[in-house]
Chain A
Amino acid sequence: MSEQLALLPAYLTGHVQLTLVALLLGTVISVPLGIVATRVRWLEQVVLGAAGIIQTIPSLALLAMMVPVLAAIQVQSIGYLPAIIGLTLYSTLPILRNTVIGIAGIDPAYTEAAKGVGMTRGQQLWSIELPLAMPVIVGGLRTSTVWVVGMATLSTPVGAMSLGNYIFSGLQTRNYTAVMVGSVAAALLAQLLDGLVRVLEEGVRFRRRGLVAVAVGVLSVLYLFAGVTLARQFIGDDESERIVIGSKTYTEQYILSEIISGQVTAETGLSATVMQSLGSTVAFDALRSGDLDVYVDYSGTIWATILRREANTENRGQILDEVERALATDYGVHVVGALGFDNTYALAMRSADVAALRLRRISDLVPHASRLVLGGDLEFFGRPEWVSLRARYGLSFDRELTMDPSLMYQAVAQGDVDVITAFSTDGRIAALGLTVLEDDRNVIPPYDAVILVSDRLVRDRPRVVAALEGLVGAIDVDLMRAMNLTVDEDGRTPRSVAEEFLAGRSATDARGR
């Protein structure tokens, strides 16, 4: 718990920044747009229609879509910017819709009276229409506030730190304390902001100076805080000095990113930050665009999902070399080297079933498959490996369920599914009594873990690349499995496991010298 609470200042700061900036932008855009829409008939339909469409896009997809869009126009494509744009877009609809409804709903007797006492159009708007529509507009703002605080937890996969870091990493590493801390903090923040907006509106409407002062005071402090911390992030420390390390959304990646971070800091003295829980292709795109400097990916993943090639018996040996060559020439991404283990997709089952059905290889599974249920991780059924597996073995299961990787192992152990697409480095395969079936037709390519770096890093920071070379061949499959298990089952944090690993190495180095 205290370990989790130590992360709170950083995550909460990120969350407050995202939420406050997005809401401010959303309001500044939506209220004037809503006002204009009440004056220009055709615009009302266009604006409300567009905002409505944005709203129907699933929020995670909306945020993730910002990454390639921003990359295409050559601006920072992961981190703060895509998150802010996504959240701002999402916040507009309730405010916009309520501004339009609020103003259109005013009794025409009041607007006519306003005209009758000699007000200009502008005076009518400021003195009569906006005050009368305010309760409705503020209702929209309050809806947006609650939405945005919730949705900001989804900024984590696009690289913006938020309370979502607790939730994403907590779910992956089965650290439910982290999930709870993140969720409770987000709920409290939503309550606080919603309450402040409500108090402010009531204070203004009922002319209660005290209420207004309290709400404005607290909001100013929050905005000041967000502004100062943001300014420090963007100006205070030189962006180019910092090494940004990416991690995808599972235990092994969290551990490896912390190991890299520790290694870089120790060897070069440069500061490093980890962007946690990135979407798989988000990380690769960010490395290409230079928003990310380093992360670990797997040769087979790049082979199948980026180079879009099929694996077969003949080319297995050359995959790593070919990946290295193709990435450098076609993508401007460099392979520093392999860490020393292979984390392949493997079909795993309960050992008891394997024995009962006398299975050893995937080929043996084929006649039984129609009575079995397969559980796959979030991306598996969309990956080329699945297409190849089905085609080359003629596999056809009774049902295929997509599930969160952290829940998959428990699900097969408990008998909720019969077969899972396990990762071979996952310590829970052994711990939960599962057995991996051999890929006898060599359909699944090797997944050597490789350190990938951006072009920029190779050019400008050879020292960092040299430091990373120190990790090549340093982690074998048993070690990786053991480290994963320590986090998944013993509840240790990825960082402490990484620190232990690095400390062990420097001790060995010292002894070696």
Chain B
Amino acid sequence: MTETKTSGNRSRETRIGVIGRPIDRIDGPLKVRGDATYAYETTLEGTAFGYILGAAVAKGRIAEIDTGEAERAPAVLLVMTHRNAPAQPDFGPAVTPTVPEVFTRARPALNSERVRYYDEPVALVVAETFEAARAAAGLIKVRYDEEPGLYDLPAHVADAYAPKRTNAGFETDSVIGDFESAFAAAPVKVDATYRTPFEHHNPMEPHATLAAWSGNELTIHTSAQTLANFRAGVASTLRIPPERVRIVSPFIGGGFGSKLIAHADTILAALAAQVLQRPVKIALTRQQMFANAGHRAEMIQQVRLSTDTDGRLTGIAHDVWSATSSFEEYCEQTAVFARSLYAAPNRVTRHRLIPLDINRGEWMRSPGEAPGMLAFECAMDELAERLGLDPIELRIRNEPVQDPERGVPFSTRNLVACMEEGARRFGWERRNPTPGRAREGRKLIGYGMAAAIRPNYIGAATARVAIDRDGRVTARLDMTDIGTGSYTILTQIAAESLGLPISSIKVELGDSRFPRTAGSGGSWGAASAGSALHNACNALKQRILEAAASSEASPLRGAGATDASFADGEVRLGQRSTSLADLIRRIAPDGFEAEGSVAAGAATQSYKAYSQHSYGAHFAEVAVDCDTGEIRMRRMLAVMGAGRILNAKTARSQIIGGMTWGIGAALMEQTVLDPRYGHFVNHDLAEYHVPTNGDVPEMEVVFLEEHDDKANPLGAKGLGELGVCGAGAAVANAIYNATGVRVREFPITLDKLLPALPVIAI
């Protein structure tokens, strides 16, 4: 391979030009051949198979449980219930003292006769085969003392409380100026209440674990986004030191936030493997994932906007009432983005929670922005119409010069450029501002747009990089690749930094024995792990140069220069250069190793001094069948300003994935919680609809060139979630433009559109 030979744009950072290039995924061949090994696919001698039985009621206690028949069933090795499960700590309070403890707290399973939510594990069967375990689980008889529970968010809004903080540690409320007076006095206003439903992550790979003990050391092969947290969580549940737990997760079949903490599969596999003294494998079934692996909570969102007659916002209020779990609080930061998006002198954002007897919500792709912008960016569309302004013009008029609530400058902010570029490319001028007017045959056509914003996070991370005598580089970190392309971009970063071809770099991820990173979550993986690796490579180069300058065997000895460079497989020092591999062979037959780190963003000066976000603009065209109300996408466009793009190919994939999640949220995704029984009614992939190939139209993604030098040494910002933010609102606004019907209850299914769709003559 000769990637390093072709150098494109020789700006300071893209000297060699490997970073940013749309190279194919490093792990691509493994994945298309079926050779990438996911958690359940690891095999160990003597592995037994577990199957979980979940509770038939949502609240109460187990009055009787008869496991006799299951224990006597063929090939059964163990039936574990709260009566015989190894002791674990109690679950503890609903709110942890600090944010990080959410991830590391004990999450006991089969620990009590209490049932806290529907389908909570009440028994585990382990058998020689999967078939035997599943069948035996069906033979367990349980009688419950059922207790009445709360399952109906709208019915209990009056009981809402204000949490101490939101997810990610944001303030629950923000108040600037006097919103109520400004709103009351404003000549133009919108007061709209939206509802967003329960949603489920549904990564294609179900949560799965193979646990094996060797002496008192536990190895967990699982599907995890952040290994360090997983490890801490498992260790606290089993009450063993984290050093005795190893988490291995080289390939993850999607997570979207549902694999940040250990779930029942992991805990129960570890316990059963301990009891049986043999490896145990457990996967949640797709159905079990709905109750046991997180969700996005149902919310009611009131958005109030007021402007002067020119469309300048005088007030912004975003109030959110969200469901939470009665035993573990989770408050999605739904209104937080509204603190940074548009200028207005008077502003309020508030989060309130209604506890229900359900499992906790978990971080679902773009927590906060995904549901929040779905509502808010529709309200902006409603406001634009009321003002008779183009929705893009309305947003431009309210572009802030600095972060409107924090009062600090933006590191970079290209929202206006994204909208203008998008409008040009999409043919936005063809949009008829009067809704319901564009028809093709019996289809109503509509255009919609929305803004996108997503904060740039950076988590603490360390990377270790080693070079051997043949010039082969190995980078190790406990980062994960959940489909985001970590293997590939980290390879590119190391290749560029060290001036070596891609083929000389090996990136090893997904093992908690490797240096700790923040893992994959909050779109911070690439920037955090990438910056750590970038720093590690710099440290490695420093070591090489020091040795090269001083070692007897070095051809660069005494070059006495300071302008060193690593390119095309060579090290250049002043006028002299030599092959890197040759140099290492001479001066360090055992090779070199170095580490590099980055600190968590929130702790850095730059983070305090600048408002750091990625931005974008989404555009959508829909067709609505005037007879049936069926909505089908025609095309979508996203223009993104997200810092430096590390790999144009995988970055685009992230964005189209996010846009598709926007389609899902706008049109079809919803889990129905039955208020009588407290269970998610449509708990499988036939009834919980995610977009299929047929639902996804032609998609165009454009990245505006941007380098955010405040964000991190790489200038890269998060991408994985940006594609979702606002995408659903663009779709919803297009539906309104097509039909003139504003549905404020998501998803916008045809039954909600139909009553207001006029009957058009045939």
A binds B: no
A-side residues, CB < 8 A to B, are none
B-side residues, CB < 8 A to A, are none
